[in-house]
Amino acid sequence: MTSKAKCIGILTSGGDCPGLNAAIRGVAKSVLARGIKVIGIQDGFRGLVENRMIPLEDKDVSGILTQGGTLLGSARDKPHKMNMGGTIMDMTGVALANIESNHIDCLVCLGGNGTQKNALRLHEAGGINVITLPKTIDNDVAETDVTFGFDSAMTIATEAIDRLHTTATSHHRVIICEIMGNKVGWLALGAGIAGGADVILLPEIPYDIQVVVNHLKKRLHRHKRFSIIAVAEGAISKEQANNPEFKTKKKKFNKAVQMTDEGMLLVSESKACRIAREIQQAAGLEVRVTSLGHVQRGGVPTPTDRLLCTRLGTKAGELISEGLYNVMIAVRGEECLAVPLARVAGVTKKISLDHPWLKTAFATGTCLGDNIFTRKRTDAK
């Protein structure tokens, strides 16, 4: 089949995650086999604006399937709001000019929600052809069953919970494991279920600390030697959910490091530490906190993510050869499908209260921090 594109550019944007190299490889090998030139754009949209580009050949993407990170580098810059030496500027025109000067017929963007929006903005501003692949450990990109990077991060978080089980039971402790997920709780919910967490707290379900404490006390009365709590970093209490000031100033409330007017550094209490303190005060239990942080983003991708990235990348190559642009490659069941980018950009996929995963957690006796999920049952542990 004759390609409608002679050259593509590919970039990775937003936070890094396992699988980016596998996806780059999938796209590049697919289009190179069709005689299409590939240009790698370094450090996301910033590299596009600064015209930092390198040619990619088959030898450049061989052997990277199993590697973590991204050979192209990544950044969180937005072309329409880019920090240029301390001044925020709209660099959309420069980005579009660089696409044209490098004879790029299609820009392939690998990233999460922000990347979907930035790709759509470039298309709308300059009529350029774009294709995106859904990447994020948060799994919150709309219109797709799953994003690449999620399975790898969930595996890491689950392994951490597995390890916490042994030390928790040895010392009769409550251990809180803080897991990434600022706006959604897919990662904490998946790892919490897979790791057998006794309590799972999510951004989608504001928690009542007394419900959590009561659940922990019931476990003690049933001679349970330990409890594991999986907390998404964006989990909020009912008090916070009902506080208008918290809703409008959430970033300030969640900020871990702040500066005083005198220039003094203040480190605020983390979400997990606050919950630990509240549990200790209310129940007198010994509580420890583990925050996984960026460990969840690192390392090699799981076989599931390697397969997914390869499927997504080769599907992108297929669509490029057909001249079908301005779409995101979504996963629907066993299929990879093209979804109009306009339906994806700006939409966050949250956990609905009737989601099967929540029902599964509930059925196995997991406390979700709210009485609407509480009933008499036998704890599975």
Adjacent-strand bridge partners of 54: 40
Structure tokens given for 305: 């993510």
Residue among 184, 124, 79 at smallest CA distance from 342: 124
Average pLDDT over residues 30-51: 98
- Give the model's pLDDT for residue 16: 92
Residue 48 has pLDDT above 90, yes or no: yes
Q: What percent of the chain has pLDDT over 70?
A: 91
Structure tokens given for 275: 């919950």
Q: What is the pLDDT of residues 186-221, one digit of tens each?
A: 999 999 999 999 999 999 999 999 999 999 999 989
Instruction: Count the alpha carbons within 13 Å of 324 in the hemisphere toward its beta carbon.
Output: 14
| Residues 1, 99, 338: CA angle, nearest 5 degrees | 45
- Give the model's pLDDT for residue 244: 81
- Give the model's pLDDT for residue 380: 43
- Give the model's pLDDT for residue 269: 75
Spatial distance between the Cα atoms of 118 and 112, rounded to a whole number of angstroms? 10
- Give the model's pLDDT for residue 260: 58
Q: Which residue has the higher pLDDT, 256 or 279?
A: 279
Catalytic residues: 138
The domains of the chain, with CATH numbers, are 7-148+301-343 (3.40.50.450), 153-297+352-373 (3.40.50.460)
Residue 1 banded pLDDT, cuts 50, 70, 90: very low
- Give the model's pLDDT for residue 378: 41
Residue 23 has pLDDT above 80, yes or no: yes
Residue among 73, 18, 10, 13 at smallest CA distance from 309: 18
Q: Are 205 and 368 in contact (CB under 8 A)?
A: yes
Residue 9 has pLDDT above 90, yes or no: yes
Distance of CA 337 to CAs 110, 258, 274, Å?
Answer: 16, 44, 43
Asked which of 339-343, 361-365, 376-380 is least confident by mean pLDDT, the reply is 376-380
Structure tokens given for 373: 């999920």
Spatial distance between the Cα atoms of 52 and 58, rounded to a whole number of angstroms? 20
- Give the model's pLDDT for residue 235: 95
Average pLDDT over residues 90-114: 98
Q: What is the pLDDT of residues 131-188, one digit of tens each?
A: 999 999 999 999 999 999 999 999 999 999 999 999 888 888 899 999 999 999 999 9
- Give the model's pLDDT for residue 375: 47
- The b-or-e profile of 251-278 (16+ CB within 10 A means b, else e) is eeebeeeeeeeeeeeeeeebbbeebbeb
Q: What is the pLDDT of residues 219-252, one digit of tens each?
A: 989 988 899 999 999 999 999 999 887 766 555 5
Q: Which amino acid is at 57?
A: E
Looking at every residue in the chain, the average pLDDT score rounds to 92
Residue 118 banded pLDDT, cuts 50, 70, 90: very high
Residue 258 has pLDDT above 70, yes or no: no
Q: What is the pLDDT of residues 260-285, one digit of tens each?
A: 566 666 666 788 999 999 999 988 88
Residue 367 has pLDDT above 70, yes or no: yes
Residue 354 has pLDDT above 90, yes or no: yes
Q: Which amino acid is at 370?
A: D
